[in-house]
Chains A and B, each alone.
Chain A
Amino acid sequence: MNDTAEIIINVRNLKIGYGDTVILQNINFQVECGEVFVILGGSGSGKSTLLKNLIGLYTPLEGEVWIEGVNIVTATGDERRNLLHKFGVAYQSGALFGSMNLLENVRLPLDELTALPEPLKELSALAKLKLVGLASAIQKMPAELSGGMQKRAAIARAMALDPRILFLDEPSAGLDPVTSADLDLLITELAHHFGITFVIVTHELASINKIADRVIMLDNRTRSIVAEGRPEELRDSANPWVHRFFNREPDAVASGLHL
């Protein structure tokens, strides 16, 4: 980790869950400005729940989430609203507004939250859609699109306000390898040229190796972070579970599978 880099997200002693059920605890990590930070874990390890706690949709049971110097757990009113405008989120299912076409979906944040002149809003939204490769589908309704296209449109919408941080929930799940590789390229370009910080939840090994600057790995057995580091460090990890994950080895004994 570079000591001089600006810490943009600082998570301290986070404990998350629903009611009495604890999903993750002792979560501590920091994300530097401009890096691609990947949250990794098996199915059901609480990746998406952690993400929803980071962006303030859920309230953690304990702990603090500092984003650009503001604790989103306790922030209210204008402070919270300002903070929300600093990051964009692309949800797992796309979460596009079904009653609007793609252009309107991407324009919505610009229309509602900026005072840009009309032509600039349109240009800006069109450029974002072109950037994610959806130039030919701007007039389509979300229901008319494939899952991969919906995901890319969701990323375009998340970028509409040019946030400093983008949270992506499983961006490449369900995409074909070519589209997925395009998306990886897009993410690295955006991170390197514009200093956009990415926090990505995924379990796509291929893309982690290509895009991730740093990875944390969650484990559903210990309910906390089992490993943290660069992807190549994790690949050679001494922890058997991490090693298995990165080398795609089956865990037949633990999963109760008798072949």
Chain B
Amino acid sequence: MIPAGQKELETDLRFGPAGSARVVLRGRLNARTATACWNELEQRLCGVNLKKLEVDADGLEFCDGGGLALLRYLSMGLMTPEAAVSVHGLSTGLEQLFQGFTLDDYKALRPSSSVKCHPLPEEVGSGVRQVALDFREQVEFLGNVTRNLLPTVLDRKRMRWAEVGRVFELAGANAVPIVSLVSILVGLIIAFESTQTLAKFGAQIYVVNMIGIIMVRELGPLLAAVLLAGRSGSAFAAEIGTMKVNEELDALQTFGLDPIRFLVVQRIVAAILLTPLLGLYATFLGVAGGVLVALGLGFPWPLIFHQLTTSLKVSDIIFGLSKGVAFGAIVSAVGCLRGLQTQEGPSAVGISTTRAVVTSIVLIVIADAVFSVLFYVLKL
């Protein structure tokens, strides 16, 4: 222990004749005392034109990495650029370690702080190239999936229906609670907000027609697809991405098994089967939310039912279901593609899942717009 009243480290700096100086260090030189010592020396040596600096470390009882760094800093002349610095009195072990890292090492290793800056055209060019490459990969993937889908589905042995069932349960059945909550609330909110405007025209009953059309044709499939993208598209990307990082995909390929056939087709088939169902369920609950508002406004049940049945056609429901099929294919294919595209490194899986969700949602909205135009042209 250090006796009371005595500092842990004593720094004794004395200036000699003709620009020489001598520092005597006594005590324990650790990260804490080295900081204090550095501050003191820097303050006192700053602006002094030194020719020679001697560091006497004979009195050091202890010196850790921080302390050694200070001694090195001094001996490399980084604090006193003009002076010739010598450090002596180190114990043999420390001396050996001290010699193990020299000024040359420091100069060679010191990280250059220059940040590379690319000119704008280069940035734009590489950005466009990246997008084009990504598009090419998507097209390739789409072709590959299309080529493999039918032969795999028809081949009972290769299809691995158990896997389809597992995905169906994870992505479909387990999503029911969240889909229920979100759709019933969205139905309630839309109906509730629009009654206030409709009331101005005395047309509150039409809230039922509106919620019916919106939910069946638009929001039911959309909500289901967005929730599927968030819950399962990301999960597909993470699952396959982790397999890629763990070299499991390489293992598959060395067995001659195509990951598309082995992993992707099952997920796409499951998603195509379950998304329309999930969409239908979301539609039903969304409409139920709207109906609740209508009941709350005091409309009788038969009237509400009449409004619903007269405003909706069978084609509307088919419209909704076909959207569900397309959205399911998009979400699962994008999730699998992003999983397969996973790069090396610890953050790669995270990046893949993010990209899976973002791309899925963008594509879902674009597909939704295409559907609207298509059905308008077809006059459905």
Contact = CB atoms under 8 A, between A and B. Distances in A.
B347 interface: yes
Given A115-B35, A120-B69, A138 B109 contact: yes
B111 A130 contact: no
A127 to B, nearest CB: 4
Interface stretch (A4-12, A157-165, A236-244): A157-165
B31 A161 contact: yes
Interface in A10-27: none
A119 interface: yes
Interface in A123-145: 123-124, 126-131, 135, 138-139, 141-143
A141 B345 contact: yes
B69 A123 contact: yes
Given A119-B78, A193-B96, A162 B346 contact: no
A98 interface: yes
A114 B70 CA distance: 14
B101 A119 contact: no
Given A98-B346, A162-B31, A116 B105 contact: no
Contacts of A110: 31, 66
Interface residues of A, number: 33
A124 B69 contact: yes
A126 B105 contact: yes
Contacts of A154: none
Interface in B86-124: 93-94, 96-97, 100-101, 105-106, 108-111
A130 to B, nearest CB: 5
Given A120-B69, A130-B105, A143-B345, A115 B32 contact: yes
Given A127-B65, A131-B100, A143-B345, A138 B111 contact: yes
Contacts of A116: 31, 34-35, 38, 66, 69
A29 interface: no
Contacts of B31: 110, 114-116, 161-162
A227 B131 CA distance: 62
B12 interface: no
Interface in A149-196: 159-162, 192-194
For chain B, what secondary structure do more than half of its interface residues adopt (helix, strand, loop), or is it mixed? helix
Contact of B66 (A99, A139, A162, A194): A162
Contacts of B97: 131, 193
Contact of A127 (B38, B39, B100, B110): B100
A77 interface: no
Contacts of B347: 98-99
B247 interface: no
A153 to B, nearest CB: 14
B160 interface: no
Contact of A126 (B38, B66, B106): B106
Nearest to B91: A193
B72 interface: yes
A250 interface: no
A110 B30 CA distance: 12
A135 B38 contact: no
A103 B111 contact: yes
Contact of A123 (B42, B93, B106): B106
B44 to A, nearest CB: 15
Interface in B16-68: 30-32, 34-35, 38-39, 42, 64-66, 68
B72 A117 contact: no
Nearest to A160: B65
Contact of A162 (B35, B65, B108): B65
B344 interface: yes
B208 to A, nearest CB: 53
Given A116-B35, A143-B344, A135 B65 contact: no
Contacts of A141: 345
Given A98-B345, A124-B66, A130-B101, A135 B96 contact: no
Contacts of A162: 30-31, 64-66
B73 interface: yes
Nearest to A114: B31
A249 B65 CA distance: 43
Contacts of B111: 103, 138-139
Contacts of A98: 345-347
B38 A117 contact: yes
Contacts of A114: 31-32, 35, 66
A138 B110 CA distance: 9
**Which has the most chain A C-beta neighbours within 10 Å: B34, B94, B109?**
B109
A33 to B, nearest CB: 14
Contacts of A159: 65
B345 A120 contact: no
A110 B31 CA distance: 9
Contacts of B345: 98, 141, 143
Nearest to B36: A115
Contacts of A123: 69, 72-73, 101, 106
Contacts of A161: 31, 65
26 contacts: A99-B346, A115-B31, A116-B34, A117-B38, A120-B35, A120-B70, A121-B69, A123-B72, A123-B73, A123-B101, A126-B106, A126-B109, A127-B68, A127-B72, A130-B100, A131-B100, A131-B101, A135-B105, A135-B108, A135-B109, A138-B111, A160-B65, A162-B64, A162-B65, A193-B93, A193-B94
Given A160-B65, A193-B97, 19 more contacts: A98-B345, A110-B31, A114-B66, A115-B31, A116-B31, A116-B66, A120-B70, A123-B73, A126-B105, A126-B109, A127-B69, A127-B100, A130-B100, A130-B101, A135-B109, A161-B31, A161-B65, A162-B65, A162-B66
